[in-house]
Amino acid sequence: MRVKRALITVANKDKLVNFAKRLEKLGVEIISTGKTYELLVKNGIKAKKVSDEIGFPEILDGRVKTLHPKIHGALLSVRSRESHKEELEKYGIKPIDMLVCNLYPFPEVIAREHSLEEAIENIDVGGPALIRAAAKNFKDVIVITSPDRYDEIISDLETKGDVSLEKRRELAAEAFKMVSSYDFLVFKYLSNPEKDEFPDILDLRFRKLRELRYGENPHQRAYLYSELNPKSSSILKAKQLHGKKLSFNNYLDLDAALSLIAEFEKPSCVIIKHTNPCGVASASTLREAYELAFSCDPISAFGGILGFNRELDEEVAKEIVKNFYDAILAPSYSEEALEILKIKKNLILLELKAMKNFCKDSKLSKFEIKQISSGLLVQEVDAHSCNDIFSAMEVVTEKKPSKDEIIAMNFAWKVVRHVKSNAAVIAKGERTLAIASGFTSRVEAVANAIEKSRESCKNAVLASEAFFPFRDSVDIAAEAGITAIIQPGGSIRDKEVINAANEHGIAMVFTNLRCFKH
């Protein structure tokens, strides 16, 4: 079936003029609206106004242009049905064989600073109605919703005279997907999450961004998907400046680095390996922070991910290239640092200028989701403020922690909540001396952290993300020279654990908040 008439009404006018000119050469009559019509005529393309087609003007500031039987009848009529042909003739309606339509830029508007009124004005009504009508009748109407399809479709028309039924169906599916995603974004924008935090039906929409180098293992394929409107501080918004294509594991580790580095105000460095920190430090300079973080566990740091919360400068870069890392995340890089780091051909360098907004954006996130077979586990994001915890923490032992011990405990707690359970962190000042992660018993985690820190754990503090079920962890901590412990409390044997701390002269505080991380 040859395309005789096309309705063109688009917000995104990329590539449109060339496409319309090629349609015109094929003898296709073009009908159009508003600014699309103006653009076509300005470029010498003969077009007919929709208002002339339907005998009714655009009204309500352009809110109503195409919602008319002469348009929707032209799109929805089934060409093979005699009754439809008769009705079109009766009411003077000419069939439309192609719809070229995309929607008001609602996603772009709500992604930037805007008012509610501006957002509402950019909710498209006529466009989705047209697209749904044409897509429903795809056997008779070609529906094009993306400029990326123009060349392919016009080539088919020029060389074959028509577009295959298979491709028409494919275009219709794309059209319904676009409208569905658009409507979902409007729904999410207008919804009040406080009224429906955990809805009966959980709708999740993510857009495929790219194929990754590989999945968790090289034999697994993997892709990166994004929320329809990702936050500015998301790792997805980071700009890659150098290095190889990112893998599935890179993204997991980089996201873990971002979550942890956002905890700190002073110049800080985190080193991540398999989503767990293996070294964290804050200091007066970024170089010092890096060196302290690296000294925590140089062996585990090999092949890890670095996260910084200040511009990465030349001094730090010179130290970094002495070792092997997979990727670096920072808010910015000096030109000198980039020159040095780019010597490492495969080293991934990511820049995320909005990193400082991460904690604020995290509090806006409603869900954290983990997949199990045939289902999802959904929970609130653990976005509690560590500062609130520190101001409310409870000293439960006879010995009170010193000022230095409080600083170290606060630092260790910020780290341990990002370590896979069962976890233990030993810290002194604002640096980790040892991090133990993923143990199946609490006492094993503590013992491993002590073994890692060796003699340096004397006069240090110990942090645990969950309570001690027995006094054994306190006993071995005391033997190693630990002087203060921060933990949630809440065990049925809390009294036994507190008594052990008192016996050893250890200061202990309860946060009254558990931070399991599975």
Q: Which of 504, 416, 512, 422 is nearest to 462 (CA)?
A: 416
The pLDDT of residue 291 is 96
Each residue's pLDDT tens digit, 225-257: 988 777 777 888 899 999 999 999 999 999 999
The pLDDT of residue 515 is 85
Bond from prior residue into 410 cis (ω within 30 degrees of 0): no
On the question of pLDDT at 364 being above 70, the answer is: no
Is domain 5-190 classified as CATH 3.40.50.1380?
yes
Residue with tokens 């341990």: 416
- Distance CA(305)–CA(257), nearest Å, equals 7
Mean pLDDT of 494-517: 93
Q: What homologous superfamily does CATH list for 386-510? A: AICAR transformylase, duplication domain (3.40.140.20)
- Distance CA(405)–CA(509), nearest Å, equals 11
Each residue's pLDDT tens digit, 269-279: 999 999 999 99
7's CB contacts (< 8 A; 6+ apart) are 31, 32, 50, 66, 71, 74, 75, 96, 98, 99, 100, 101, 130
Topology of 238-353 in CATH?
Answer: Cytidine Deaminase; domain 2 (3.40.140)
The pLDDT of residue 30 is 93
- Confidence class of residue 198 from pLDDT cuts 50, 70 and 90? confident
The pLDDT of residue 500 is 95
- Distance CA(32)–CA(7), nearest Å, equals 6
172 CB burial (10 A radius; 0-12, 13-18, 19+):
buried
The pLDDT of residue 388 is 66
* Residue 312 per-residue DSSP state: B
89-to-68, 79, 94, 141 alpha-carbon distances in Å:
16, 12, 8, 18
> Which range, of 71-75, 129-133, 146-150, 202-206, averages the lowest pLDDT?
202-206
The pLDDT of residue 486 is 96
Can 136 be counted among the known catalytic residues? yes
* Common-topology check for domains 5-190 and 238-353: no
What are 365's two structure tokens? 């996130």
Mean pLDDT of 481-498: 94
The pLDDT of residue 53 is 80
The pLDDT of residue 403 is 92
Q: Left, alpha or beta for 275 (phi > 0: left; psi -120 to 50: alpha)?
A: left
Name the active-site residue from 84, 237, 274, 342: 274
- Confidence class of residue 337 from pLDDT cuts 50, 70 and 90? very high
On the question of pLDDT at 1 being above 70, the answer is: no
Q: Report the residue count for the chain.
A: 518
Domain extents in the chain? 5-190, 238-353, 386-510
> Which range, of 80-94, 147-161, 393-407, averages the lowest pLDDT?
80-94
The pLDDT of residue 443 is 95
The pLDDT of residue 266 is 94
Each residue's pLDDT tens digit, 81-105: 889 988 888 888 899 999 999 998 8
Cβ contact 292:284 at 8 Å: no
- Confidence class of residue 195 from pLDDT cuts 50, 70 and 90? low
- Confidence class of residue 194 from pLDDT cuts 50, 70 and 90? low
The pLDDT of residue 504 is 96
Each residue's pLDDT tens digit, 437-479: 999 999 999 999 999 988 788 999 999 999 999 999 999 999 9
The pLDDT of residue 359 is 64
What are 113's two structure tokens? 């600073």
Q: Which of 493, 492, 495, 489 is nearest to 513 (CA)?
A: 489
Which residue type, as a one-letter code, is found at position 29?
A: E
> Which range, of 1-15, 181-195, 360-374, averages the lowest pLDDT?
360-374
DSSP E strands in 402-517: the ranges are: 424-428, 431-436, 461-463, 484-487, 507-510
Which residue type, as a one-letter code, is found at position 369?
A: I
Radius of gyration of the chain (CA): 31
175's CB contacts (< 8 A; 6+ apart) are 131, 132, 134, 135, 143, 145
- Distance CA(491)–CA(218), nearest Å, equals 43
- Distance CA(154)–CA(115), nearest Å, equals 39
What sections of 16-164 are H helices per DSSP? 16-25, 34-42, 50-54, 69-76, 82-90, 106-110, 116-121, 126-136, 150-160
- Distance CA(33)–CA(11), nearest Å, equals 11
Each residue's pLDDT tens digit, 296-326: 999 999 999 999 999 999 999 999 999 999 9
The pLDDT of residue 503 is 95
Name the active-site residue from 4, 21, 48, 136: 136
> Which range, of 50-59, 111-120, 233-242, 356-365, averages the lowest pLDDT?
356-365
On the question of pLDDT at 392 being above 80, the answer is: no
